[in-house]
Structure 1
Amino acid sequence: MGRIVVSEQISLDGVVDDPSGVEGTSRGGWFNEMSQADRETWTQHEFAESVAAEALLLGRRSDAWFAARWRERTGEWADRLNTIPKYVVSSTLDEPQWGNATVLSGDVVEQVAKLRTEADGEIVVYASAPLVRMLIDHELVDELRLTIHPFVVGAGPRLWGETADRKAFRLIDSRLLGSLPHLTFGVVAA
């Protein structure tokens, strides 16, 4: 059985919106303020995570965002991200924008639960905050990996929204990626 792993870049106040600033929001770009040493450590970590993953699970907007930025890149990390199997959750998309992808439509909870049952390894979710909230609500997330950037952004979409019920997690690992805290939480069974 596969495991759904959420891997997010997040501010101290839970904002996940426009971390790179390319979407032009007034408070975006906080991800780019890390030091070069932090970026190198973070890059090594993210590359290792992509190598260990069996597949990626993305929302429609994240598929488009990553496709626009990774399709033309070269190198080991780009090769891995461009060729890894991807599953894109969407009720409106017929053809995903990033290569080697399959659209999951219809009953998303059923589709993701089936994918999780059929997989053997980690299915990593990048970005895709609405999808992450839905997965958490339906108890389909096995692990949360949060790289915390030391900024209070103050406004913008947050990873944590209203949930159907209280959700319990336990810290299973903590480390520094350079000076950035990286926390891994496992889901506590209900």
Structure 2
Amino acid sequence: MGKIIVSENVTLDGVVQDPTGEEGFALGGWFTHFTGADREEWSAIEYAEARDAAALLLGRRTYEWFAARWAARPGDWADRLRELPKYVVASAALDGPDWNHVEVVKGEVVEEVSDMRRRIDGEIVVYGSRELVQALLAHDLVDELRLTTFPYLLGAGERWFDRIGPATRPLRLVATRAIGHTLALHTYRPERDA
């Protein structure tokens, strides 16, 4: 049985909006401020995650962002992302460059993702895809959250957990890891029996 793994970059106050500064958000670009050894260590962790994944699950905008930057990029990490099966939740046609092994998820997302968990053995990794992640969390379909926190307090911007419903969702911290001198990776799993 597959596991849905949400792997996200967030600020200390939970903002995920415009990490690279390309969306025009006044406080965007926070992801681009770290370099050197911290970035190299972060990249090694992300590559290992892609290497261990069985598939990617992405929203349409996140898919288009990744495809535009990774479809023709050289290197082992890019090769791994190209060879992974990619499932894209899209209500409109996909734009941008084609990427290998892409299937558009049609139908009701909760049913489709539940079926995907039964069919795919291994980790199904979700990057970005804020609206998709919120739907998955609201329907208890996330098996693990991996949040890489960046040392910024923006005070404004879209956050991950703004729209997952009023119910309390207890999580258990299963790992914390420092990434260089500035980042931290926190891994949580739902407490489904709590």
Is 1:114 the counterpart of 2:111? The answer is: no
Is this contact kept in 1: 2:4–2:142, CA < 8 A?
A: yes
Distance 1:161 1:99 in 2: 33
Work out which of the residue numbers 169, 177, 180 in structure 1 matches 2:179.
Answer: 177
Q: What is the 5 A alignment of 1:65-80?
A: 65-80=65-80
- 1:129-172 deviation per Cα after TM superposition (whole angstroms, max 9, x unaligned): 11101000001000000000000122221111132321111000
Tell me the equivalent position of 2:170.
168
Residue identity over aligned pairs, in percent, reads: 49
Tell me the equivalent position of 1:149.
150
SS in 1 for 2:93: coil
Is this contact kept in 2: 1:41–1:177, CA < 8 A?
A: yes
SS in 1 for 2:114: helix
Tell me the equivalent position of 2:34.
34
- 1:50-91 deviation per Cα after TM superposition (whole angstroms, max 9, x unaligned): 000000000010011101111120000011112211000122
State the AA in 2 paired with 1:106: G
Distance 2:163 2:127 in 1: 20
Count of residues paired in the alignment: 190
Tell me the equivalent position of 1:17.
17
Name stretches of at least 5 consecutive residues in structure 1 with no aligned partner: none
Tell me the equivalent position of 1:48.
48
Structure-2 change in CA distance of 1:122 and 1:78 (3 Å): same
SS in 2 for 1:21: coil
C-alpha displacement of 1:95: 7.5
Name stretches of at least 5 consecutive residues in structure 2 with no aligned partner: none
Tell me the equivalent position of 1:139.
140
C-alpha displacement of 1:46: 0.2
Structure-2 change in CA distance of 1:61 and 1:95 (3 Å): closer
Is this contact kept in 1: 2:60–2:94, CA < 8 A?
A: no
SS in 1 for 2:148: strand
Distance 1:68 1:2 in 2: 27
Is this contact kept in 1: 2:4–2:124, CA < 8 A?
A: yes
Distance 1:182 1:66 in 2: 21
Tell me the equivalent position of 2:125.
124
The answer to which of 133-142 and 87-96 deviates more is 87-96
C-alpha displacement of 1:26: 1.3
